A and B are shown apart, each in its own frame.
Chain A
């Protein structure tokens, strides 16, 4: 087990470097951060050169990247367009998005697995068709459309929830945005669970469990669900990153000042330190979640643990 963890950790290093480098190249090499600072005005060449030098932009790209990563590891993410240090923005934005992500993740996992299990156990019957139709609709209607519709109906027309989420709002205010953010993933989880449950319910070992005279509840929870959840856990883990990225849309709809909002501002104002900084952290979270999934996977499936 220990060796397995170390191996996974080592495999993650090149992925982290590659991913952050890719983002770095996109922002710094494809764009022109200095010109962006001046907006439509043409910058004075001397000033531009000075800024370039200050920002370490007059070096070859790989060196710039190394310099940038060195800065990041000492906790210096540069300054945002407003002049605030990026770390300060992160300090306020990440807790907000983290809360939203936790709410969305809980909704996704509980509702997704529940619906998937229901459909998988009743395959071919009404409940199954209902769940399938629901998931298809959820996947087909883009998040920003469902977002506005839910905000309009639940938030504005029926007044059941706050249509906008203020800073420091209670968790209950995050339920509606959480549902919107979780929507598509929830549908995927439900479908994945359904397929997995349906496949496993045909497995020989499940027949054995029934032949042992186990009560149905035990057959389902101990034997069927546990085995069926292995692929679902993988998806859930990798989806944490997706949820935080998806917050770009959800936070815009509900006017939440989290990571998505800051990232969006950074892009609008073409501020590379904000964009690269936030994305780097997101990638780190994404990779950490993947590692967690791998470990969980090994716990759930002994065939991997002893391989």
Chain B
């Protein structure tokens, strides 16, 4: 069949697998749930495996950095300042004469911890507050919406600079706490919307009509369906938090030396970019790969969980 008109290819630009006549018997034959369908989708995506592998590797390195780096990230020798790669030191040395390779490996811990703690806190707090607001509605919902409006009024980077410079924190805990403080409304909004949608589904109304209690309704019927969008946003947010931590550390308000963090090292290296680009390259590369892995994972999960995109 020759291509017919160009405006057709417009309508057809999207792979709509279900565009053909869908046969009802087909759906009955294979009762697919959202999750098994999503898994089926994911298991065929190489990007999913690659990003998952990178993340597992990062987590392992964050817990046991000595597995692949024998040195001490704080053992520095000023006489080796800004030296290029030598044997046993494949990435060379930074301005302080510290081994760049060891610092890059140890830097994973800060990034991964901040990312994980922040995401965990934001997800728990956000989905709890947003979910309850969506489920019960009324004044609780109204107040929560206004409060999250207020938090949305502060760009997160701006808030971070102000807040962290004032409390003079600089530890993984304070940075994570700040991110939870300013990040929860994002998840809360998603969770609220998802719960409201799920609540209006016929089967939830039916369960309610059959006398299911609040707890049962929420846990058995609404939560599993509202979970998908929250998971997707949280995965992608994890990458953003890691990036944000690095940016805050770069600005001098996040983690502070002697903490080992990619953001700190990039900040230090950025002033020497003309003399020793390798100092910037390695921590920046590690940071980018980490953020990319989480974003890719979130993307793959979203595509798998969103039936509209199939």
A–B touch (CB < 8 A): the answer is yes
| Given A16-B153, A245-B158, A283-B153: A267 touches B165 (CB 8 Å cut-off) | yes
Given contacts A201-B10, A202-B14, A210-B11, are A287 and B153 in contact (CB under 8 A)? yes
Contact of A143 among B14, B149, B247 (CB under 8 A): B247
Do the beta carbons of B157 and A14 come within 8 Å of each other? no
**Which range contains the number of B residues in contact with the other chain?**
35 or more
A140 CB, min distance to chain B CBs, angstroms: 4
Contact of A249 among B150, B247, B273 (CB under 8 A): B247
Contact mask for chain B residues 270-305; partner A; CB cutoff 8 A; 1 contact, 0 none: 100110010010001001110110011001000000
Across the interface, A201 reaches (CB within 8 A) one of B13, B267, B289, namely: B13
Can you list 6 A-B pairs with a CB-CB distance of less than 8 A?
A136-B299, A140-B239, A140-B289, A140-B291, A148-B270, A283-B154
Q: Are A140 and B10 in contact (CB under 8 A)?
A: no
B21 at the A interface (CB under 8 A):
no
Most-contacted residue by chain B among A26, A120, A264 (CB, 10 A): A26
Whether B284 contacts A145 by the Cβ 8 Å rule is: yes
Does any Cβ of B come within 8 Å of A96's Cβ? no
A14 to chain B, nearest CB (A): 6
Determine which of A16, A142, A210, A270 lies in contact with B246 in the assembled complex, contact meaning CB atoms within 8 Å.
Answer: A142
The answer on a CB contact under 8 Å between A210 and B7 is yes
* CB <8 Å contact, B161 and A148: no
CA distance A214 to B8 in the complex (A): 11
CA distance A249 to B252 in the complex (A): 11
Judge whether B7 and A201 touch: CB under 8 Å: no
* Residue B44, interface by CB 8 Å: no
Q: In the docked arrangement, what's the CA distance between A185 and B254, Å? A: 23
B33 lies within 8 A of chain A by Cβ: no
| Chain B residues positioned under 8 Å from A249 (CB to CB) | 157, 247, 250-251
B14 near A220 with CB under 8 A, answer no
CB contacts under 8 Å to A, within B235-276, are: 239, 243, 246-247, 250-253, 266-267, 270, 273-274
> Are B161 and A216 in contact (CB-based, < 8 A)?
no
Contacts of B167 in A (CB 8 A): 30-31
What residues of B have a CB within 8 angstroms of the CB of A283 in the complex? 153-154
Are B146 and A26 closer than 8 Å at their CB atoms?
A: no
Cβ of B274: which chain A residues have Cβ within 8 Å of it?
Answer: 152, 156
Partner pick for A241 among B10, B155, B267, B273, CB 8 A cutoff? B155
CB distance B7 to A140 under 8 Å?
no
In the bound complex, do residue A199 and residue B13 qualify as a contact, i.e. CB atoms below 8 Å apart? Answer: no
Tally of contact residues, A, Cβ under 8 A: 62
- Complexed CA–CA distance, A305 and B166 (Å): 44
* B308 and A270 contacting across the interface, CB-CB below 8 Å: no
B11 and A201 form a contact (CB under 8 A):
yes
**Interface hits, A262-294 → B, CB 8 Å:** 263-264, 267-268, 270, 275, 279, 282-283, 286-287
Is B6 engaged at the interface, CB distance under 8 Å to the other chain?
Answer: yes
Check A199–B246 contact: CB distance below 8 A. no
A75 within 8 A of B: no
Give complex CA distance A15, B143 in Å.
12
Please measure, in the bound complex, the distance between the C-alpha atom of A95 and the C-alpha atom of B155, giving whole angstroms. Answer: 20
Q: Is A85 an interface residue (CB 8 A)?
A: no
Contacting B161 at CB < 8 Å: which of A123, A242, A264, A286?
A: A264
Q: Which residue of A lies closest to B287 (CB)?
A: A142
Interface check B56, CB cutoff 8 A? no
Name which of A14, A137, A141 has the most chain B CB atoms within 10 A of its CB. A141
Shortest distance from the beta carbon of B83 to any chain A beta carbon, whole Å: 20
Name the A residues within 8 Å of B149 (CB-CB). Answer: 14-15, 18
Separation of A136 and B303 alpha carbons in the complex (Å): 15
- List residues of chain A with CB within 8 A of the CB of B11: 201-202, 206-207, 210
Nearest chain-B residue to A224 (Cβ)? B10
Residue of A nearest to B296 (CB): A136
The answer to whether A198 touches B247 (Cβ under 8 A) is no
Residues of A within 8 A of B161 (CB): 248, 263-264, 267
Contact partner of B13 (CB less than 8 A), chosen from A137, A140, A198, is A198
The distance in angstroms between the C-alpha atoms of A283 and B306, with both chains bound, is 35
B68 within 8 A of A: no
The minimal Cβ–Cβ distance linking A273 to chain B, given in whole angstroms, is 13
Contact of B277 among A27, A136, A152 (CB under 8 A): A152
Per-residue B-contact encoding for A2-46, CB less than 8 Å = 1, 0 else? 000000000000111011001100110011000000000000000
Q: Does A134 contact B (CB under 8 A)?
A: no
Chain B's nearest CB lies how many Å from the CB of A195?
A: 8
Partner of A121, one of B10, B157, B247, B280: B10
The answer to whether B247 and A286 have CB atoms under 8 Å apart is no
Chain B residues whose C-beta falls within 8 Å of the C-beta of A198 in the assembled complex:
13-14, 309
Structural contact, A279 and B158, CB atoms closer than 8 A: yes
How far does the Cβ of B177 sit from chain A's closest Cβ, in whole Å? 12
